[in-house]
């Protein structure tokens, strides 16, 4: 299965980082809405605003960065009137991601052993590593969250985030955009994730997909071929046996 594979694409949440996405979103929305309390008094209204703008970003069509897609939708909804006002709001987001966002780590128990060993192992085998996390957050937030596992972000050739990507999962174009950036053919890549839609859709491009079941997300019937499934520990053992 690992023969001729040059590049390993890893999802983050629920794959390398042992947190439940739903739980993470709950803390994330809570922390972000308190940062914008003055703009939107009701927390529920703010969360809706955030989800709607995130939805626009997820549907981004490649014409601009995901960050631009998000900010445009967000500014439109809160009726920003000037460029200065928009700049201040963007600054507030940046500060949030540098401070409060990073502090969310305290809510989770994180497995450091398996993820770190897997990445070190592949690095020593000279494999190209890509952090193929849904690109809905800024670079700094993605790097900090990856480092919660003890992994050094510099070990990755590419980390996808909302500034460098113009598509998001489950759009197959997201994976196409990655292939273009790392210049590797799909048949020489593996996608390792925990989501039978968002990660498994990589199979549409001919990328073999492996599913880590520790924090499996099913979303109904799976329409994509899965090359292998098991726990992160089993994946590590298989890797060491085969390469």
Minimum distance from CB of 212 to Mg ion (Å)? 9
- DSSP helix/strand/coil, 148: coil
Minimum distance from CB of 196 to Mg ion (Å)? 11
Strand partners, 129: 8
Distances in whole angstroms, Cα of residue 85 to Cα of each of 68, 75, 80, 138: 16, 9, 6, 20
Q: Which of 5, 11, 17, 66 binds Mg ion (CB under 5 A)?
A: 11
DSSP 174: H
Tokens (6 digits) for 176: 């196409």
Contacts of 118 (CB under 8 A, 6+ apart): 16, 232, 235, 236, 239
Which secondary-structure segment (H or E) carries 7? strand 7-10
Distance CA 75, CA 210 (A): 38
Minimum CB distance to Mg ion smaller for 54 or for 194: 194
Question: Does 13 participate in binding Mg ion (rule CB under 5 A)?
Answer: yes
Question: Does 145 participate in binding Mg ion (rule CB under 5 A)?
Answer: no
Question: Does 18 participate in binding Mg ion (rule CB under 5 A)?
Answer: no
Specify whether the CB–CB gap between 235 and 111 falls below 8 A.
Answer: no
Stretch that binds Mg ion, among 41-49, 75-83, 186-194, 204-212 (CB under 5 A): 186-194
Minimum distance from CB of 13 to Mg ion (Å)? 4
Q: Tokens 């200065």 identify what position?
A: 84
Minimum CB distance to Mg ion smaller for 189 or for 191: 191
Minimum distance from CB of 46 to Mg ion (Å)? 25
Minimum distance from CB of 41 to Mg ion (Å)? 33
Minimum CB distance to Mg ion smaller for 144 or for 145: 145
Question: Does 14 participate in binding Mg ion (rule CB under 5 A)?
Answer: yes
Residues of span 187-226 touching Mg ion by CB under 5 A: 194
> Which residues of the shown chain bind Mg ion in the complex (CB under 5 A)?
11, 13-14, 194
């Amino acid at each position: 299965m690992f023969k001729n594979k040059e590049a390993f694409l890893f999802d983050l949440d629920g794959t390398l980082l042992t947190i439940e996405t739903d739980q993470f979103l709950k803390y994330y929305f809570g922390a972000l809405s308190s940062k914008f309390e003055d703009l939107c008094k009701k927390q529920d209204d703010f969360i809706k605003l955030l989800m709607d703008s995130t939805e626009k970003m997820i549907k981004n069509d490649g014409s601009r960065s995901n960050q631009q897609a998000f900010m445009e939708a967000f500014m439109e909804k809160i009726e920003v009137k000037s460029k200065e006002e928009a700049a201040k709001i963007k600054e507030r987001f940046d500060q949030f991601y540098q401070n409060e966002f990073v502090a969310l780590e305290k809510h989770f128990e994180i497995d450091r052993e398996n993820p770190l060993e897997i990445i070190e192992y592949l690095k020593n085998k000279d494999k190209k590593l890509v952090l193929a996390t849904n690109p809905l957050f800024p670079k700094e937030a993605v790097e900090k969250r990856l480092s919660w596992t003890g992994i050094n972000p510099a070990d990755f050739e590419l980390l996808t985030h909302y500034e460098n990507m113009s598509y998001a999962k489950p759009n197959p174009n997201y994976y196409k955009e990655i292939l273009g950036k790392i210049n590797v053919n799909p048949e020489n890549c593996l996608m390792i994730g925990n989501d039978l839609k968002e990660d498994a859709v990589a199979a549409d491009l001919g990328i073999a997909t492996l599913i880590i079941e520790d924090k499996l997300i099913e979303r109904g019937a799976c329409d994509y071929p899965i090359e292998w499934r098991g726990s992160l520990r089993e994946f590590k053992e298989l890797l060491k046996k085969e390469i």
